[in-house]
Structure 1
């Protein structure tokens, strides 16, 4: 087991009607003026916006607001939020939405508290924030795990670079998780979320570290629970227990629990950032569902036993001791079939993407030759290109 630090300062309020307590919770921290940050019109249509502002008024919390966060959130909107926070002396940011809204809120929090630094330098790893505005969340989509994670990912339209970085300042003070708020999430977005949740654990499971039995079983149990709950949520979107399982699994999948004691490199995420950074219409979960099977087909010969364990323990497949590579391939095929059963694409051509920009994406993923991604077989430009080609179909 590798040395590790495990830090989870976020307080979770989980369950029905918990979002109605948001004013009381914020007042308890002593904040008097906040930024309410959200995406499109869904929080208005669902009634969530009215519930939030009612609770804020009841507890004398003043607010300014900024909507318009898109999937693959943009640096340009975050910069508007930074300026608004400074001009209005905002003390706290409340993100109401999914992972994109949370990432945008975290970026705003970094920039607002570090006005003399170009925020993009944090994402380029040239600087580190010296503080940030505190952030809280009301989650409306089970997917990214950003409600408990240290990560923040943003897209810079100047060059269409999608980059992320981790900071302890990114972990929210609190997150409100009411599974009922996900009942109206579309089947496609539900599928994207299921893939993202699974990938946050699978990319901690397939690592260069020695097997860590306790962490393995935590990861495998989470994956099996998500597979079962995912099927039920697609069939019956108002299945509270299925939605609750997905929501809590999303948080646990990305708060570092399922990677404790391991090295984590998240290579599929790195390659997907280039895909959805270049093709802004690609949902993150859909990009992952395309790239994981291709990555796995490329890497399994270099970690066959690990892929066999995944096949046997997660997918309940029989071990072929004479031909272990067949078991490894069967586990990959089972994962790909499950993603497809959710309505997720498993080939780039299903997204309308051909070979035209594969080389540019590979170059960006290596930071133009400045990095090689650690992996069972390390990933330079040539290897990344091969995985992108495998993903074409």
Structure 2
């Protein structure tokens, strides 16, 4: 294991009815809150009314900003910053999934500083101060409810970039599995795929002697796949929804990356897909990750053999280790298909192969010329991964 630091101060409030506690939690930080959310589902379900009532009962003045979209947009972030500055708001409460949370975190970064918040994503500056953020999670998968990062899309430049800051970890996250009952099967599956990819970005490493974290990672991946099938066929299965919600949190809270170098190349490649085509991030990862494995596994086959054997119960073929890896990839893709995830660009309706050059170029350009750590991929490599994904 490498030297490392684990830091995750997010208070997790887990279980049925816990959204009713948001008022007393927010009141610990501010008497004014920006309530940030996405579309109409939280309103239609009555969740927002319960949240408003809890906040007002705690004596908190509530301002609102809805409209957060999948692949959250910079323009809405600027709107939120203006609302917070104009009303001296001291807390952001995100009600939704990863897109809403990332948007809320970015508003929290931008409000107390005079910089253009986009400069943080361009790597030009770091935020000097941040507002505290709380979360009521409705769509598990992104892990943003206790992670240190956020991803935002600049519609003007078509760049989808990330910014990481330990201070952006939410001060509390409310996780009630009941709130996920109405999430459509496709978005449930995409969130689960995103979480599995978060584990894989950490699991595929060159760092040696990480068996404890390896075994934890394998358990999380297997658990997510097992619960995925239950949740998709039985949406109100509380136990399956609870397992998924907790596993998605663990997948991206830093636990499974402890003591080892992480990769993240597949995520950066996928960001170009969702920036250009506005596809679900999880669905994009379902396409990119198997192709990435096919392209890079020979750089350190033993880790992919381990993945195939421990996660998918593939027998080890001493005479043909490549067969073991290929069976692992095959079973992974088979699982993705069982939950109706795409496994190729064509499955996503991307039929123009000429776009691969553009995607590869933008990916390299937006990430300093290369992506990844397990395997450092330049523009030509990225193009080859996309070719395999096609």
TM-score (norm 2): 0.98
Q: SS of the residue aligned with 1:343? A: coil
Q: Quote the offset at 1:375 in angstroms.
A: 3.9
Q: 1:348 maps to what in 2? A: 345
Do the aligned partners of residues 342 and 111 (structure 1) sit closer, same or farther apart at CA in structure 2, a change above 3 Å counting? same
Pick from 291, 294, 299: which aligns with 1:297?
A: 294
For residues 279-332 of structure 1, give each alpha carbon's deviation from its aligned partner in whole angstroms, at most 9, with x where no partner exists: 12x000000001011111111222211111001111111111111110011111
Q: 1:363 maps to what in 2? A: 361
Q: SS of the residue aligned with 1:162? A: strand
Q: 2:311 maps to what in 1? A: 314
Do the aligned partners of residues 157 and 369 (structure 1) sit closer, same or farther apart at CA in structure 2, a change above 3 Å counting? closer
Q: 2:26 maps to what in 1? A: 26
Q: 2:48 maps to what in 1? A: 49
- Answer yes or no: is the 8 Å Cα contact 1:145–1:253 preserved in 2: yes
Q: Which moved more, 1:297-306 or 1:364-373?
A: 364-373
For residues 242-297 of structure 1, give each alpha carbon's deviation from its aligned partner in whole angstroms, at most 9, with x where no partner exists: 100110111110011111111012110010011101112x0000000010111111
Q: 1:104 maps to what in 2? A: 103
- Answer yes or no: is the 8 Å Cα contact 2:266–2:288 preserved in 1: yes
Which residues in structure 2 correspond to 1:114-153 (within 5 Å)?
114=113, 116-153=114-151
Q: 2:245 maps to what in 1? A: 247
Q: 2:90 maps to what in 1? A: 91
CA distance in 2, matches of 1:63, 1:375: 44
| 1:16 corresponds to 2:16 | yes
CA distance in 1, matches of 2:366, 2:65: 35
CA distance in 2, matches of 1:154, 1:368: 13
Q: 1:372 maps to what in 2? A: 370
CA distance in 1, matches of 2:354, 2:315: 40
| 1:232 corresponds to 2:230 | yes
Q: 2:203 maps to what in 1? A: 205
Q: Quote the offset at 1:30 in angstroms.
A: 4.1
- Answer yes or no: is the 8 Å Cα contact 1:363–1:369 preserved in 2: no
- Answer yes or no: is the 8 Å Cα contact 1:305–1:328 preserved in 2: no
Q: Quote the offset at 1:361 in angstroms.
A: 1.4
Pick from 324, 329, 339: which aligns with 2:326?
A: 329
For residues 112-153 of structure 1, give each alpha carbon's deviation from its aligned partner in whole angstroms, at most 9, with x where no partner exists: 011x21111100111000111100000001110000000110
CA distance in 2, matches of 1:351, 1:372: 25
Q: Quote the offset at 1:376 in angstroms.
A: 4.2
CA distance in 1, matches of 2:353, 2:126: 36
Q: Quote the offset at 1:352 in angstroms.
A: 1.2
- Answer yes or no: is the 8 Å Cα contact 2:265–2:373 preserved in 1: yes
Q: How many equivalent residue pairs?
A: 389
Q: Quote the offset at 1:339 in angstroms.
A: 0.7
Q: 1:64 maps to what in 2? A: 63
Q: SS of the residue aligned with 2:174? A: strand
CA distance in 2, matches of 1:113, 1:221: 41
CA distance in 2, matches of 1:256, 1:337: 28
The CA RMSD measured in Å over matched residues stands at: 1.1
- Answer yes or no: is the 8 Å Cα contact 2:369–2:379 preserved in 1: no
Q: SS of the residue aligned with 1:103? A: helix
Q: Quote the offset at 1:106 in angstroms.
A: 0.5
Do the aligned partners of residues 62 and 390 (structure 1) sit closer, same or farther apart at CA in structure 2, a change above 3 Å counting? same
CA distance in 1, matches of 2:371, 2:18: 41
CA distance in 2, matches of 1:217, 1:61: 44
Unaligned ranges ≥5, structure 2: none
Q: 1:257 maps to what in 2? A: 255
